[in-house]
Amino acid sequence: MVAMRGTFDRQTAYSQLYEVMQTDRPLKDRLQDALEVGVSQFGVDAGIVTKIDQETDDWEVRISTDTGDAPDPTGLKRDLSTTFCLRTVQEEGVVAFADVADVGLEDSTDAVEYGIHCYHGAPIMVDNEPYGTVCFTAQNARAEPFSEAEKSFSHLIAQMAGYEIEQQQYEAELAERAAELDERAEIYRAVIDASFDLVFRLDLDGRFIYTSPSVVDLLGYEHEELDGRSVATVQVDAETTERAWELFDRVLSGETIEEHYFPVETKAGDIIYVDLRATPIYDSRVPADQRTPEDIVAVQAMSRDATDRKRRDGLISVINRVLRHNLRNDVGVINGYAEMLEDELEGQQETLAKRVRTTSDRLLDLSETAQKLEETLDSPIERQPLDLRPLADRVADQLGGAYPDASITVAGPETAVVDSAPRLETALWELVDNAAKHAGEAPRIEIEIADTETHYELSVRDDGPGLPELERSVLQSGEETPLVHGRGLGLWLVYWIVTGVDGTVTVADPHRPGTTIELRLPTAE
């Protein structure tokens, strides 16, 4: 059997792969082109993408390269246990051998029945579970083993395939859920849901003529306080008042309106956000098929408190903006190029290449913090009395060990009980850890607890260069816009934890040396 030689050119391979995967072509076509790059670079006969099911021992070819005169293997199904891919899935890593005789597989099904004597496969992972494999095969053995660079390249193709398949499945799931939501919306189109937090009715002048008993809990008003008063009473400012009247006019024209995250002001002056739905009430004496806007006698409306969900949607918006541009895909490519440059460059240029790789690693850390954010928001808030002093001492001790060059001290009363949740310790950890990382080689970090008449203040102060204005603005506002992006997610985590337990986050005077971040937390009863 004639041995073949590999022709792998790493720079050309990575460039071609990146160009192929960045197009807008259907995923199947892009993956087939990616396989063609591998076939050409490895000097093999064919490349395939398989789908496997370990529980049922199923193995199927989903995508393959052009095999010329040979039958197209696409759709071929076999038992996973009879394929070389079984080893790839079991080892959860790249499996490659230049000649089946080298690994004692010359009597295997793949070798005997299908004539495969050279194999190179990498696992495809989707949602952290084995999905299938990317494989390259040849009828003839190779003259030399597959190199580590070739193995890394096949692994990158499998990573890209897994990410793209995962995204495709996610989009299909979103579409399915959207269809379900549309169906539910149609079912409940004309139904007043008894579970709404507030049901109210307005006359033709926009005055309250009915409010459900829940108005006390939601807005703090008694029924008598709103009876006969304009809907503008609960509006936040002139802009929202104008928007409220626009919605009211649309209902009076016969339209049923829905408005999400509409801001309203409670009697205490707090701003909450509600989902609002309003529909016209017609004169019941007029037949339904004959009603016109002139027959409207009142407006029926329902609202639900959506403040917590708005906070969560804000968090999701941040995560999506950070991760949605194929983060894992691009980081894999960046690392590949950076490693290639480190091998080929020397001196200052090699240092710069290492810096590129370090930066890409930091992007992966971002995704991990994003996951922590999502887990924090998904878990219920268990409010309970919490003593700040042992919490602060614990964080100082633990991070003091992690950063031996840093001086971390705690000052304040020996007992400071707040109405909070255990996740507050995560927020404090993020603040101190951030200071230890960015405040210099030997930073001084002070954790101070102060008691006031209405709340406790927990501050973290360092002697570093100060918090950038970009981080300051997003930390204090908790809002992310196209022009304002935080460079990391740690401070976002602090914001969402603290505000989730009715606390506030404040960045002290920027003209003072270093950075001081103050958390105001309600005292426990």
Most confident by average pLDDT, 269-273, 355-359, 509-513: 269-273
Question: Looking at the domain assignment, is residue 1 inside a domain?
Answer: no
Q: Which of 3-12, 121-130, 298-307 has the lowest mean pLDDT?
A: 3-12
Asked if 43 and 147 touch (Cβ cutoff 8 Å), the reply is: no
**Whether 370 and 405 share a structural domain:** no
Give the total number of structural domains in the chain: 4
pLDDT of 371: 61
**Whether 89 and 108 share a structural domain:** yes
pLDDT of 524: 84
Predicted confidence band of residue 307 (pLDDT cuts 50, 70, 90): confident
**Whether 144 and 62 share a structural domain:** yes
pLDDT in tens, 140-156: 898 889 999 999 999 99
Between CA 489 and CA 525 the distance in angstroms is 33
The neighbour count for residue 86, using CB atoms within 10 Å, is 19
In terms of pLDDT, which residue wins out, 461 or 490? 461
DSSP output for 456-486: EEEEEEE-SS---HHHHHHHHH---BTTB--
**Whether 29 and 165 share a structural domain:** yes
pLDDT of 79: 93
pLDDT at 454 over 50: yes
pLDDT of 485: 41
Instruction: Report the chain's C-alpha Rg in angstroms.
Output: 31
Q: Which of 144-153, 370-379, 473-482 has the lowest mean pLDDT?
A: 473-482
Average pLDDT value for residue range 489-510: 82
**Whether 275 and 390 share a structural domain:** no
pLDDT of 486: 46
Question: Looking at the domain assignment, is residue 312 inside a domain?
Answer: no
**Whether 401 and 357 share a structural domain:** no
**Whether 135 and 283 share a structural domain:** no
Q: How many residues does the chain have?
A: 525
* Residue 114: both structure tokens together: 């299908």
Q: Is the pTM of this model over 0.75?
A: no
pLDDT at 73 over 50: yes
pLDDT of 167: 87
Q: Which domain holds residue 230?
A: 198-305
Check which CATH number belongs to the domain holding 295 and give it.
Answer: 3.30.450.20
Helices (H) and strands (E) in the chain, counts: 15, 18
In terms of pLDDT, which residue wins out, 480 or 267? 267
DSSP output for 203-263: -TTSBEEEE-TTHHHHH---HHHHTT-BGGGG-SSHHHHHHHHHHHHHHHTT--EEEEEEE
pLDDT at 510 over 50: yes
Question: Looking at the domain assignment, is residue 183 inside a domain?
Answer: no
What residue type is 334 in one-letter code? I
Between CA 455 and CA 524 the distance in angstroms is 9
pLDDT of 96: 92
pLDDT of 3: 45
Average pLDDT value for residue range 39-67: 89
The residue from 255, 277, 305 where one domain ends is 305
The neighbour count for residue 476, using CB atoms within 10 Å, is 15
**Whether 348 and 221 share a structural domain:** no
Between CA 295 and CA 292 the distance in angstroms is 5
Question: Looking at the domain assignment, is residue 318 inside a domain?
Answer: no
DSSP state of 422: T
Q: Which of 48, 102, 53, 52 is nearest to 70 (CA)?
A: 48
Asked if 519 and 505 touch (Cβ cutoff 8 Å), the reply is: yes
Question: Looking at the domain assignment, is residue 462 inside a domain?
Answer: yes
Check which CATH number belongs to the domain holding 81 and give it.
Answer: 3.30.450.40
pLDDT of 379: 62
Asked if 457 and 388 touch (Cβ cutoff 8 Å), the reply is: no
Average pLDDT value for residue range 382-403: 90
pLDDT of 491: 78
pLDDT in tens, 89-121: 888 889 999 999 889 999 999 989 888 999 999
The residue from 305, 335, 355 where one domain ends is 305
**Whether 214 and 132 share a structural domain:** no
Between CA 280 and CA 344 the distance in angstroms is 73
Predicted confidence band of residue 366 (pLDDT cuts 50, 70, 90): low
Helices 148-187, 327-344: axis angle to 10 degrees equals 170
pLDDT of 481: 45
Question: Looking at the domain assignment, is residue 317 inside a domain?
Answer: no
In terms of pLDDT, which residue wins out, 487 or 460? 460
DSSP state of 101: G
**Whether 480 and 446 share a structural domain:** yes
Query: What is the dihedral sign for C-alpha 492, 497, 498, 499?
Result: positive
What residue type is 222 in one-letter code? E
71 CB-contact burial (10 Å; exposed 0-12 / middle 13-18 / buried 19+): exposed
The neighbour count for residue 368, using CB atoms within 10 Å, is 10
**Whether 367 and 393 share a structural domain:** no
Question: Looking at the domain assignment, is residue 185 inside a domain?
Answer: no
Question: Looking at the domain assignment, is residue 37 inside a domain?
Answer: yes
pLDDT at 255 over 90: yes
pLDDT in tens, 184-204: 655 544 444 455 678 889 999
Average pLDDT value for residue range 170-196: 67
pLDDT at 282 over 90: yes
Average pLDDT value for residue range 505-522: 84
Between CA 314 and CA 481 the distance in angstroms is 10
Q: What value does the mean pLDDT of the chain take? A: 83
3-state helix, strand, coil in the chain (%, to 5): 45, 25, 30
pLDDT of 422: 85
**Whether 338 and 254 share a structural domain:** no
pLDDT at 244 over 70: yes
Most confident by average pLDDT, 168-172, 406-410, 482-486: 406-410
The residue from 348, 379, 410 where one domain ends is 379
Q: Which of 219-233, 338-352, 472-486 has the lowest mean pLDDT?
A: 472-486
Check which CATH number belongs to the domain holding 499 and give it.
Answer: 3.30.565.10
CA angle 289, 291, 292 (to 5 degrees): 135
In terms of pLDDT, which residue wins out, 365 or 3? 365
The neighbour count for residue 432, using CB atoms within 10 Å, is 25
